[in-house]
Homo-oligomer: A and B are copies of this chain.
Amino acid sequence: MANNLAFAALSDPTRREVFERLAAGPSAVGDLARGLPVSRPAVSQHLKVLKEAGLVTDRPDGARRVYQIDPQGLGQIRAWLDRFWDVALDAFKAEVERSEAASIKSDEDRT
């Protein structure tokens, strides 16, 4: 149950922004920071969190360090969500029917 790391990682707006930019293609830390409203160390810290959550991978490239999307963390969240998707739809359907039944009943009561 390590998905809490992935959820916590994506709960921060700046981190989601970093993640979305990496989805457009691999990038180095400095290049990422240049397009964001926060400092480079901040981006570096965000990348560390994303990495520990299995959402990105990094690879050395000379003095630079290239980060890239990792499907692993994404898959964990997807799997967690899918556990509730069907039951959520069923619950919603049942609720609609229950609500309509109550509505019809109140109509009958009025007659």
Contact = CB atoms under 8 A, between A and B. Distances in A.
Interface of A: 4, 7-8, 10-11, 13, 16, 19-20, 23, 25-26, 57, 59, 68-71, 74, 77-78, 81, 83-85, 87-89, 91-92, 95, 99
B92 A71 contact: yes
Contact of A74 (B10, B25, B88): B88
Contacts of A59: 95, 99
Question: Could you tell me the dominant secondary structure of chain A's interface residues?
Answer: helix
A95 B68 CA distance: 9
Contacts of A16: 4, 7
A71 B95 contact: no
